[in-house]
Structure 1
Amino acid sequence: MKVLLSGASGFIGQYVLKALQQRGIDVVAVSRSQPQIAVSFIKADLLSMDDFTSLVQQARASHLLHLAWYTEHGKYWTSALNLRWVEATTRLVEAFCAAGGQQVVVAGTCAEYDWQYGYCREDTTALNPATLYGVTKDVTRRLLMAMCAQYGVRFAWGRIFLPYGKGESIARLIPALIEVFCKKRPPFGVNVQAYRDFLHASDVAEAFIRLIIEGANGVYNISSGEPTRLADLVIKVASLLGTDPQAVLALPAERTGEPPLLVGENLKLKALGWRPALTLAQGLELCIQGVMN
């Protein structure tokens, strides 16, 4: 097995690359910047490439794990770059399949679902994305599923829910809360009664590795399956830092119109033998250690 990994220098990609190497799986990373971990590396901007065939031939990989996409916090929901990533992704996968690739695994998103249902079941909850990001991810999944079926290549799509961990944007909820309770930024209000599905990035990485090792085919939620009330998240972070959560809990929510519940069923992934290794408390401790050290 040899894996061609795109987005290797991104937030999730760094965890995936580490997990692949820990298992002794041969990997070739492709991204615009050299990953921090020493690895066989092809420098490339997938959005600017004219010839994906040469990239695939250079990598000589049996498996493709495609994570690369535009993910700048606060901007990716509506960015026109989502449209360009649809094209780049389909061209990359087409070249990989045409070269005799055995399996394609691609990162999807919980934003493909209709969030009014709250609890997202893998095979039954309606898909009705409310953003350009969600729509383009869903379109990409449909295109790749049809393409891989035509080539007879196994295809797995992992819908990521709410990943967190060292290396994520400091503008995201958990690192932002840590900064508030470390007095590095002003407090802000959250929808304290809402429930969300958080999963540490290392467990997200292990889920993708499991899809590869098991030769999975189909759509899988990559989620904890456990609802966490945002008020409880705030209290946990504050407690770990030995401070008062009321600095955040007492403020009105800054964002409105968000669903009261967003949680993903993960039975299909568990059926492959995957389980989260970290509890939320353990994951938060690692995040805080990463900030403090």
Structure 2
Amino acid sequence: MRILVSGAAGFVGRTLVPTLQARGHEVVPLRRGEGGVPADLAEIGAWTGWPTGIDAVVHLAALNPQRGERAADDDAALMRANGAGTKALAARAAREGVGCFVFASTNLVHAPSTAPVDEDARLAPQNAYAASKRAGEEGLRQALAGTPTHAVVLRLPPVYGPGGRGGLAMVLKLARSPLPLPFARSSARRSLLSVANAADALAIAVEHETLAGTFLVADGPPWRIGDLVAYVRQLKGRSPRLVGAPLPLLRAAAGALGQRATFDRLFADFVMDDRRFRAATGWHPPQSVETALRETVRTP
């Protein structure tokens, strides 16, 4: 297949491109601002250089600022990039006769829940980024309605691996330090996804001729945050050094510091049920969490 990949130079894209190539596909990177490609994907409809013979599109490109960055609270910019940009790219793909459009969304479009979340769980985006990705999902649906192009939306949990960033990367960085961490009493269970497994799932989605719809994807059973820290420290030859600070005290302290959202990310369950994707495709993650963590820890 000849596959157009947006965000090919990003964290997931750098693994997806060689994964697709190893499976015999030709990858055409869509580089915004290069070769006449508009920097704003919402303007992609006017681009005159669309490559010929594209069979599928994998859309990874997104505005995904770190928490605390100014863009993280710029709703208009997020909606433009992740909402309008996705809709415009999907519309252009349909116009060009592309057969399949795969969109990498986020599990954060779902409301927080103590019970495992599946694709039918309540939608209540947890931040501005998630709201913009949800807008992208809806724009994709609208753009492809009544066209032969079928869409696959993969709602991904935190993707980790060498070079990753975000909240999970922060936890893994802390785990590499000698600092005692307050996770001994943490009951938080989180679904994770290694970058290698994310790339494999995206490749399966684009190759599956009849797959369509929205799916959650995860490495497998969830991990407790404390267990992640302990495992990383074991790899480093250190003791876990987990302390049992009372959760109400931690919650109050986080609130006083304006970090309640950070507390919830570290101490609240958020578990994905990805059986629908596995049943539809026969997918099994090729990489274990343990192997992925070892690769991550080995990277400076």
TM-score of the superposed pair, with normalisation by structure 2: 0.83
Which stretch shifts more, 68-77 or 251-260?
Answer: 251-260
* Structure 1 residue aligned with 2:264: 257
Q: Which of these residues, 150, 153, 174, is aligned with residue 154 of structure 1?
A: 150
Matched, 1:24 2:24: yes
Retained in 2: the 8 A contact 1:165–1:201?
A: yes
Correspondence for 1:47 among 16, 40, 46: 40
**1:143 equivalenced with 2:147 (yes/no):** no
Structure 2 CA distance for partners of 1:20 and 1:42, relative to 1, 3 Å: farther
CA contact (8 A) 2:84 2:139 kept: no
CA positional deviation for 1:156: 0.4
Which whole-Å deviations, capped at 9, do the CAs of 1:264-284 have from their partners, x for residues lacking one? 111122120211122211111
Unaligned runs of 5+ in 2: 255-261
Counterpart among 216, 222, 227 of residue 221 in structure 1 = 216
Residue 149 of structure 1 and its aligned partner are, at CA, apart by 2.5
TM-score, normalised via structure 1 length: 0.85
Aligned to 1:57: 50
Per-residue deviation, 1:21 = 1.0
The answer as to whether partners of 1:177 and 1:237 remain within 8 angstroms in 2 is yes
Match of 1:69 in 2: 62
**Contact map agreement 1:182 1:241 (CA 8 A) in 2:** no
Could you tell me whether the CA contact under 8 Å between 1:110 and 1:160 is conserved in 2?
A: yes
Identify unmatched segments of 5+ residues in structure 1: 34-40
Matched AA of 2:108: A
Asked if structure 2 preserves the Cα contact closer than 8 Å seen for 1:53 and 1:96, the reply is: no
Instruction: Give how far 1:137 is off.
Output: 1.4
Instruction: Give the 5 Å matches for 1:1-293.
Output: 1-32=1-32, 44=37, 46-47=39-40, 50-54=43-47, 57-58=50-51, 60-74=53-67, 75=69, 78-80=73-75, 81-85=77-81, 86-122=83-119, 124-169=120-165, 172-174=167-169, 176-178=171-173, 181-182=176-177, 189=182, 192-215=186-209, 216-246=211-241, 249=243, 255-258=262-265, 260-271=268-279, 272-291=281-300
Code of the residue aligned with 1:256 in structure 2: it is F
Equivalent residue number for residue 37 of structure 1: none
Q: Distance in 2 between matches of 1:110 and 1:78?
A: 19
**Per-residue CA distance 1:120-153 (angstroms, 9 max, x = gap):** 112x211111322222211221221232122121
Verify the 8 A CA contact 1:46 1:88 in the aligned structure 2. Answer: no
Give, in angstroms, the shift of residue 173 of structure 1. 2.8
Output one character per residue of 1:183-225: Cα deviation in whole Å (capped at 9) or x when no partner.
Answer: 6xx6665683211011211001100110111032000112124
Task: Write the distance in 2 (CA, Å) between the matches of 1:238 and 1:168.
Answer: 18
Query: Is the alpha carbon distance of 1:30 and 1:5 closer, same or farther for their aligned partners in structure 2, counting shifts above 3 Å?
Result: same
Q: How many residues align?
A: 279
State the AA in 1 paired with 2:276.
Answer: K
What value does the CA root-mean-square deviation take over the aligned residues?
A: 2.6
**Superimposed CA distance per residue, residues 62-113 of structure 1 (whole angstroms, 9 cap, x where no aligned partner):** 1110001012221465333211111122111111111111111101100111
In percent, how many aligned pairs have the same letter? 22
Corresponding position of 2:257:
none
Q: 1:173 to 1:130 in 2, by over 3 A?
A: closer
Residue 48 of structure 1: how far off its partner (Å): 6.5
More strand by share: 1
The DSSP-based 3-state class of the residue aligned with 2:284 is coil
Distance 1:189 1:199, change over 3 A: same
How far, CA to CA, are the matches of 1:108 and 1:48 in structure 2? 16
Distance (whole Å) between structure 2 residues aligned to residue 203 and residue 19 of structure 1 = 10
Write the letter of the residue equivalent to 2:31.
Answer: S
**Counterpart contact for 1:6–1:66, Cα < 8 Å:** yes
Q: Supply the distance in 2 between the matched residues of 1:126 and 1:136 (Cα, whole angstroms).
A: 17
